[in-house]
A and B are shown apart, each in its own frame.
Chain A
Amino acid sequence: MTGVDIGSARAPTLAERLGIDRSVAIAFGCILLILAGGAMYSREFLSPEYLLQQLQVGAFLGIIASGAMMVILLGHIDLSIPWVVTLGAMMATAMVGWGGAAGVWLCIPFGVFCGAVIGVLNGLGVAYLRLPSMIFTLGMNAVVQGLMVLHTGGFAPLDQATEAMHFIAVQRSLFGIPNALFVWALVGCFVIYVLKRTAFGRAVYAVGNRESAAYLSGVNTNRVLIGCFAFSGAMAAFAGVLLAGYSNKAYQNMGDAYLLPAIAAVVLGGTNILGGRGNYLGTIAGVILITLLQSILSVMQMPEAGRQVIYGCVIIGMLLIYGRSAKARS
């Protein structure tokens, strides 16, 4: 460092390098709190087996949340996730019937591809028609639903998961770690790489913060929008493929239970719903938090009713706390 004026420059702390800000710290704090609370209820909560199981279940949510996060970082939202999850599952299982021997190999890529196509359409609507993503993706969700109803009712497709899907989603191969967790880790590494190391990732934050400034800096903002929506669609569909493998079949409404948790995980991980701020570590924390919350509520035999209420209250409550701390800072 040679500059006179910046002689006082300090090296960024470890926390800053990792992107741990207040909200991420709060989220991890809550995870510990839940685990501690669970441990008081039953020792089982701290057993590696239980934790691995939770991570396996959380992996599906984590993959969906990865895509949702890219879109939320832009300041947009993807409400077509529920039926794109179902689409991925149904297209993958149906591919086996359509493609024969090749179909067995193509089924997973094909499912993901279909999700990506829907994502691209979402992106086109948001980028070129400048429609609010919330509305456009909601409409797209209805269209995909229509397509899937037609598909299942009209063509009587195969809905059984293949060996490969089952293998990825359920089995454990290395050190007893679930394969699904590896898949999530892979997706996560990809997202971190894109966000931290590529021009595209930088552009995602730029668009999310101030699209006009990004545009004036020569960023192809429409391409960024379409890319992120495509990724979100692909990841939702991919999770659908895995879920089909997990429950051995594809069925309607299988994605309904994932929209709110995915968005909640991203937002609780400190990603700003208005875009521009957030890091993947937070999303991981959010996913684990939501998964543990769901798990502990079901272990405590909390009825669905209470779970929904607690869910909603936790989200609002944590966001209000984040908002307060943000205001205190500024």
Chain B
Amino acid sequence: MHDRKPYLELKQISKRYGGVAALTDVDFSVYPGEIQAVLGENGAGKSTLIKIASGVTDPTEGEVLIEGKPVRFKSPTEAMRAGVVCVFQELSLLPEMTVADNLSIVDPPKWFGMIDAKGQRERARSLLKRVGCEDVHPLELVRDLPLSRRQMVEIAKALGRNPRILILDEATSALTADDVERVYGIIRELKASGVGILYVSHRMREIEALADTATVFRNGRKIETFPKGARSVDAIIEMMIGREVTHQYPEKPQPAADRSVALAAAHLAWGREIQDISFTLRKGEIVGLGGLDGQGQRELLLALFGVLKGVSGTVAVDGKPLMLDGPRKAMQAPLPMALIPEDRKTEGLMLPMSVRDNMTLAALPRLAGRFGVDADKENAAVQLMVDRLRVKTPDLLAPVSALSGGNQQKVVLAKWLMTEPGIILLNDPTRGIDVGTKQEIYRLMRELANQGAAILFYSTDYAELIGCCDRVLVIYDGRIRRELAGDELNERNLLQSALNIDATEQAA
């Protein structure tokens, strides 16, 4: 198929974070003049692959080759020097600097050893012209640009580095239709000039339009690489989901619409991220939030917990209006609320502190007697949780940082169970956690629901949503796009509405 040698090659690459495998035994190569699409569900290993290729992290095992020679990138700079340039999903632009500065941040045009401001402006102008952003002035500050323009500047910055391999990670997610077309044009130009392109996207249509070959990842493994057109969209989706059922989920009880409403949200709105969202959550019910990552699900959970400023709309808990004004208010609601946050390391835990101190932080006022915290009572309560959730820890005073990811997440859960919450908001609680612990968490969720708790559960793993939830609200672009329940709640529907493909469109 290829008469030339690959420019970038990954051999037997594995990457583990702590005990969790993000990539396992991946062989992967990109040829000059090829557009290769990388497909997979959230957490399939795509971003880890990119990070390794662009020098952000080291692989645990395996080697990276450039033009057949093994290399070890110690930093993104070295990868860039070798011709591998990445347009990152989290932008790498410097907000307080001008567009011109950003575009020439390394190796700017010089004039007697100093940065040539005029030359830099001109360079910026031509790069911006290349990506069709003549409306952006080179002296504008990046922080003043709207997100879509920033993304174009990021692309221009990558082009300015004369890549041999260009990696685009969801590079079109915030772009307008015109810009997307322009990016396509650029990509085809680059291809014609022999640049290899790695294209990560969730949008099936983009891949149809662009790619020469596609590679599907699932659960950190490469499933297959095939030329465009060799597989139908259906088959690709099948591949991404995987046929085998890997997780066991607890049994769902019969839907009970007559149960009282725990939480009712009406017309919630917050900037671009949340747009007119209304829904209800009943006692004893697990409601999922689905959709692609970054469509406003996280913001919705934060808004309900009172963390965001300036949220409009109303929220009622157990029929009484709730002021969205901070976690403390949410914890004092008629049905106390709890939030398992997105990033357990920065938002859920104080890593250097002990298991005990982390677990009791939210409920400490309850454990305090007249002369402060009663050590025996505290230890007993913690021991109870450690037993109930089967937290594996050497002792109660061990720092949480010494535990595995799954056990850390159990500590976060335990912290909130101690406050006996009536409404539990879960923000992707199983990300980066081993299968065993995942199942324990599913079982715990159902158990809590059966005891009357109302659970709102955001997950990037569709199988999990299907297995755990009574209903799933699929969010797209800050709005509820579709509600799925019963038999409708299956992988195909979830993925289709998440990708915003109508069933009719796909049939055509």
Touch test A–B (CB under 8 Å): yes
- Within 8 Å by CB of A212, from B346, B365, B372, B419, lies B346
Binding stretch for chain B, among A55-63, A81-89, A193-201: A193-201
> Known interface pairs A217-B327, A217-B361, A218-B331. Does A197 touch B352 (Cβ–Cβ under 8 Å)?
no
Q: How far is the CA of A218 from the CA of B337 in the complex (A)?
A: 11
Distance between Cα atoms of A179 and B372 in the complex (Å): 28
In whole Å, how far is A23's beta carbon from the nearest beta carbon of chain B?
Answer: 14
The residue that A216 contacts in the complex, of B339, B357, B375, B397, with Cβ under 8 A, is B339
Q: Is B347 at the interface (CB under 8 A from chain A)? A: yes
Q: What CA separation (Å) do A273 and B104 show in the bound complex? A: 37
Query: Is A206's CB under 8 angstroms from B350's CB?
Result: yes
Task: Encode contact with A along B323-356: 1 for CB under 8 Å, 0 otherwise.
Answer: 0001110010000000101000011111111000
User: Are B365 and A210 in contact (CB-based, < 8 A)?
Assistant: no
Q: Once bound together, how far apart are the Cα atoms of A195 and B360, in whole Å?
A: 15
CB neighbours of B394 from chain A (8 A): 8-10
B5, CB-defined interface residue at 8 Å:
no
B362 at interface by CB-CB < 8 Å: yes
In the bound assembly, the distance between CA atoms of A213 and B373 in angstroms comes to 21
| Majority secondary structure, A binding face | loop
Cα A220 to Cα B329 with chains together (Å)? 11
Residue of A2, A210, A212, A216 with highest tally of chain B CB at under 10 A = A216
- Of the candidates B339, B347, B351, B415, the one having the most CB atoms from chain A within 10 angstroms of its own CB is B347
B189 interface residue (CB < 8 Å to A)? no
Residues of chain A from 1 to 26 with CB closer than 8 A to chain B in the complex? 1-6, 8-12, 16
Q: What total of chain A residues lie within 8 Å of the partner, measured CB to CB? A: 33
B373 touches A197 (CB 8 A): yes
Inter-chain contact A213/B348, CB cutoff 8 Å = yes
Mark interface residues in B359-381 (1 if CB within 8 Å of A CB, else 0): 01110110010011101000000
Is the Cβ of A6 less than 8 Å from the Cβ of B339? no
Of A5, A11, A215, which is within 8 A of B392 by CB? A5
A152 beta carbon closer than 8 Å to chain B: no
Q: Is the CB of A209 within 8 A of B353?
A: yes
State whether A209 and B327 are in contact (beta carbons under 8 Å apart), knowing that A202-B357, A216-B339 are contacts in the complex.
Answer: no
Contacting residue for A210 out of B349, B360, B375, CB 8 A: B349
Q: Which residue of A lies closest to B356 (CB)?
A: A202
Asked whether B352 lies within 8 Å of A216 as measured between CB atoms, the reply is no
C-alpha spacing A199/B370, complex, angstroms: 12
**B387 interfacial by beta-carbon distance below 8 Å:** yes
On whether the beta carbons of B327 and A218 are closer than 8 Å, the reply is yes
Any A CB within 8 A of the CB of B386: yes
A–B Cβ pairs within 8 angstroms, 10 of them: A2-B387, A4-B390, A5-B391, A6-B387, A9-B396, A10-B394, A198-B372, A205-B350, A213-B347, A220-B328
What are the 6 closest A-B residue pairs judged by CB atoms, nearest first?
A197-B372, A209-B350, A199-B364, A3-B387, A217-B362, A198-B372
B contacts, CB < 8 Å to A = 305, 307, 326-328, 331, 339, 341, 346-353, 357, 360-362, 364-365, 368, 371-373, 375, 383, 386-387, 390-397, 415, 419
